Structure 1
Amino acid sequence: MGATEHRRKLLALAYPVYFELLAGVTAGIINMVWVARLGAEAVAAVAVATNLENLLLGVILVAGSGMTVLVARARGAEDPAALRSAVRGGWTLWAIVTPVVALGGFLCREPLARLVLGGSDDGSLPLAIAYFSIALPGITVFYATNVIDGILKGAGDTRTPMRLALLANGLILALDPLLILGFDLGVRGAAIATVLGRTAALACGFLALRRNAVLRQAAAAPSERTRSLIADARRAAATGLPMSADFVVRMTGALALVAIVARIGVTEVAAYGIATKAMYVATMAFYSVRQAAAIRTSHLLGAGRDERRAVGRQALLLGGALGLTAALTLLSAGPWVMRAFGSEGAVAEAGTLYLRSLGPYLVLLACFIALGGVFEGSGDSPALARITTCGVLLQLALAHILSGAGLPGICAAMAASMALQCAAVTRMYRRLPLAPRTQICRSGNRSGVSGPR
């Protein structure tokens, strides 16, 4: 299969994923815009609450990411029994994990609020508790939507998850002013709007599952059930856990880095926080390539074609191009980006310096994330998670040492750590076997190029 075909498939899979991920970031921004009218304490409460929700996303990625890989592999192998097993395993994991997080989080909402607010006992604490009282039970809907997204992506459909995310965001945009200000529900209104928007998207997601041709065909195919639900769940967990760990480690590292930046000064913390939100617009593109590479790799391996080198090469080129574009954009448009987020004065200057110093890190990060999709799709994500963990620890150590140089020193630490992570993943890539020139089809005929199943 030619490089052009791999590149075309990656682009077709990646761009809907990008807009889906971007919609998730936008939902938090929409809430913040309307909650800002309630005062600084409300903003602080919702900000820390949504940060916790982002961290909790890593829990359900065990099911969502695991199913994406397993469903794509079963689809490539044209094995309806394996596909049904993957879907059952994902939903079983959801049924096990969700009550623990939703019910446990609701019962512990006050200690959680104190934890994320750093023990503060000011006016933001009751507001955070009020938000959690709605948002944490609502995590049930959030997790279910993530599972549906994982199934659809594994089945080769990345556009429907994008549409579902846009639908949820549109409803949040309409409901926020009505519930927060119109019905005077405050931060509770923001949480209710988010849950209602996601619930509508979830209902449409279930309809999409019923209409998906690949899933309908697998459900209709006769087969004998050979594994229990627990066995299916274990397989999904074994596949998705390293990917979940990778996400959680990166999120935790980002939070820990804030404490190191705080040693430099308050201005730098504010600048770092704003600039990081701007950087998410770029990093979502990198992760969209990663998901596309994982889906493509899993599908081809399931079909009996090991083309990891070819897929990895195209993912690396695409990720590198996106990283370079992001670096050049932030280098030239840094001041305008900071102003767009409402910063000015010393904060805007510090943020501009940070964005302009991010270039090397962004290019390396893009390459690492994009190439990592190949290893996620081929079942080598445990090694990838170990590289990420070591890289994050090294980044924090270097940031501590170089923090005396200000935000450019932080960027240098991030780039140095990422360079070593890239070196490690490149070594893994070079060990991959070369794809055979001739593929053996199921019919037993040989052909130089075999198209996707």
Structure 2
Amino acid sequence: MRAAEHRRELVTLAYPVYAELLSGVTAGIINMVWVARLGGHAVAAVAVATNVENLLLGVIFVAGSGTTVLVARARGAGDRAATHSAVRGGWALWAVITPVVAVGGYLCREPLARLLLGGGEGGSLRLATGYFAIALPGIAVLFATNVVDGILKGMGDTRTPMRLAAVANGSILVLDPLLILGCGLGVRGAAIATVLGRSAALACGLVVLHRGRASRRPAEAAECGIGSLGADARRTARTGLPMSADFVVRMAGALALVAVVARIGVDEVAAYGIATKAMYVATMAFYSVRQAAAIHTAHLLGAGHDQRRAVGRQALLLSGALGLSALLILLTAAPWIMRAFGSQGEVAEAGALYLRCLGPYLVLLACFIALGGVFEGSGASPALARVTLCGTTLQLALAYGLSGWGLPGICLAMASSMALQCAAVGRMYLRTGRMGRTERPPATGSEADRPWIPAAAASDETH
């Protein structure tokens, strides 16, 4: 494939993913708009619960991301048995992970709320516990939707997950005022609306899969000599675990950074929180390119074409351009962005300064995330997870040391750490022959765990 074809494919895959990710943020905003009418305690309860949900989403990435890569690779190879094996592995992991999180979360709902809200017996604790009582068992729906999305994306269909997210948000938009205010359910109504909206999206997704667009009939699967369910689950877990770890480490690092910023002052904490939400608009664009690069890389490897460098170059160009655009927008529009989020006074000033200093970090982050998609798609994500862990640890240490410089010091710590992470990943990318051994999901038993290295000629990368 030529460079323009790689770039076109990345854009085609990425823009629906971006719309889907933005849609997820929109759901949280919809809930907050209606819950805000119930007072500060209700807002605090839902905000805490949403953060927990985001962190738990990283757990199911083991199944969703692993399924995406394996299905894309099997699709490239034209291996129907491997496709079915990857799908089975994703659902098997969902069946193992979901009861632990859903049941365990429900049983621990009050201690969890107390821990996150700093103890006490206030209204926020009671409301958060009530929200968790519905949202944590309902996490099973979110986890299942993530697996459905993973299957569809692996088949190269990123538009259907975008539409499913729109179904969920549309349902929440209708149900929120009805349940929160109309039925007087308050915070519990917000949780019920969210679960029902996601359930509607999941039902639509399962219908798509049942129609055979991304799955196979049991009779056809039986003819292919599929391996054991346990082997399918282990293969998916091996593929998805590093990606899940990468996400969880970054989320945990972001939460820990709040404690470092708190050493500077209350206004800075508020500014950091608001600016971080604004930053999501840019970072989600980077992650959409990452998912597109992972899908495209896995598909090409499955077809026997090792074009990781070619895909990586185009992903870098695309994501880097997005990062530079974000830098310029933040430099010129930072004060207006803070005002759009309702901040005023010293909080708005601190947030504008933070956003203007954040540009170099965003450009570096864009490059790191883009190359990460190539590593994910080629089965070399364990190396990426190690770089992320070391980089996040370094970032926190630098932020603590530079916090005396205020929020610009925090930005300097973030950019310095990300520069080192980019250098490490760039070095591995330039040595693509040692990025890691990729596996093709085999069709039959004895080949189930045999390492596979693409046999395509190196000249493919020059096309």
The answer to whether the superposition gives a TM-score over 0.5 is: yes
2:223 counterpart letter in structure 1: S
Deviation (angstroms), 1:354? 0.5
Unaligned segments of structure 1, at least 5 residues? 435-443
Q: Which runs of 4+ in 1 moved over 6 A?
A: none
Contact 2:294 2:374 in 1 (8 A): yes
TM-score (norm 1): 0.95
Residue ranges of structure 2 left out of the alignment (5+ in a row):
435-454
What one-letter code is carried by the residue in structure 2 that aligns with 1:422? C
- Counterpart-to-counterpart distance in 1, 2:119 and 2:302: 50
The verdict on how the C-alpha distance between 1:266 and 1:310 changes in structure 2, with shifts beyond 3 A counting, is same
Are the structure 2 counterparts of residues 445 and 35 from structure 1 closer, same or farther at C-alpha, using a change threshold of 3 Å? Answer: closer
Distance change (3 Å), C-alpha of 1:9 and 1:298: same
Output one character per residue of 1:31-71: Cα deviation in whole Å (capped at 9) or x when no partner: 11111111111100000000000000011000000000000
Q: Using the alignment, how far apart are the partners of 1:411 and 1:121 within structure 2?
A: 37
CA contact (8 A) 1:80 1:219 kept: no
Partners of 1:309 and 1:433 within 8 A in 2? no
User: Any idea what SS the aligned residue of 1:215 has?
Assistant: coil
1:439 — aligned with what? none
SS of 1:338's equivalent in the other structure is helix
Instruction: Summarize the Cα distance change of 1:136–1:217 in structure 2 as closer, same or farther, 3 Å threshold.
Output: closer
**Residue 142 (1) aligns with residue 145 (2):** no
Aligned partners of 2:305 and 2:456 also within 8 Å: no
Residue 226 (structure 1) shift:
4.1
CA distance in 2, matches of 1:54, 1:79: 34
* 1:210 positional shift: 2.1
**Shift in Å, 1:213:** 3.5
CA distance in 2, matches of 1:262, 1:419: 25
Aligned 1:12-161 pairs, distance under 5 A: 12-161=12-161
Distance 2:320 2:195 in 1: 36
Deviation at 1:280, TM superposition (A): 0.5
Alignment of 1:194-213 (within 5 A): 194-213=194-213
Q: Using the alignment, how far apart are the partners of 1:224 and 1:288 within structure 2?
A: 34
Q: Deviations over 1:127-159 (max 9, x none)?
A: 000000110010010000000000000011000
Aligned-partner Cα distance in 2 for 1:217–1:197: 28
Give aligned pairs, total.
441
Which residue identity is paired with 1:427?
Answer: R
In 1: Cα distance, 2:333 partner to 2:423 partner: 30
Alignment of 1:169 with 2:165, yes or no, is: no
Alignment of 1:300-315 (within 5 A): 300-315=300-315
Find the aligned partners of 1:16 and 1:116 in 2 and give their Cα distance. 34
User: Who is 1:183 aligned against?
Assistant: 183
Letter in 2 for 1:61: F
Deviations 1:382-426 (CA, angstroms, capped at 9, x unpaired):
000000000000000000000000001000000000000000000
Partner of 1:424: 424
Mapped to 1, the partners of 2:253 and 2:219 lie a distance apart of 42
**3-state SS of the aligned residue for 2:100?**
helix
Q: CA deviation at 1:123?
A: 1.4
The residue type equivalent to 2:35 in the other structure is V
Aligned pairs (5 A) from 1:397-412: 397-412=397-412
Residue matched to 1:327: 327
- Tell whether the 8 Å contact from 2:152 to 2:214 is kept in structure 1 after alignment: no
How far apart, CA to CA, are the structure 1 residues paired with 2:287 and 2:241? 17
Q: How large is the Cα RMSD of the aligned pairs?
A: 1.9
Shift of 1:11: 0.2
Q: Distance in 2 between matches of 1:429 and 1:117?
A: 43
Match of 2:437 in 1: none
1:377 aligns with 2:377: yes
Residue in 1 that maps onto 2:350: 350
User: 2 CA distance for matches of 1:270 and 1:207?
Assistant: 43
Q: Is the 8 A contact 1:91 1:147 kept in 2?
A: yes
Cα deviation, residue 211, structure 1: 2.8
Q: SS of 1:379's equivalent?
A: coil
Q: Which residue of 1 aligns with 2:281?
A: 281
Partners in 2 of 1:28 and 1:225 — Cα distance?
A: 44
Cα shift at 1:432 = 1.2
Taking structure 2 as the reference length, the TM-score comes to: 0.93
Per-residue CA shift, 1:260-300, capped at 9, x if unaligned?
00000000000000000000011000000000000000000
1:165 and 1:69 map into 2 onto residues whose CA distance is 21
Change in Cα spacing, 1:353 to 1:185, as seen in structure 2 (3 Å) is same
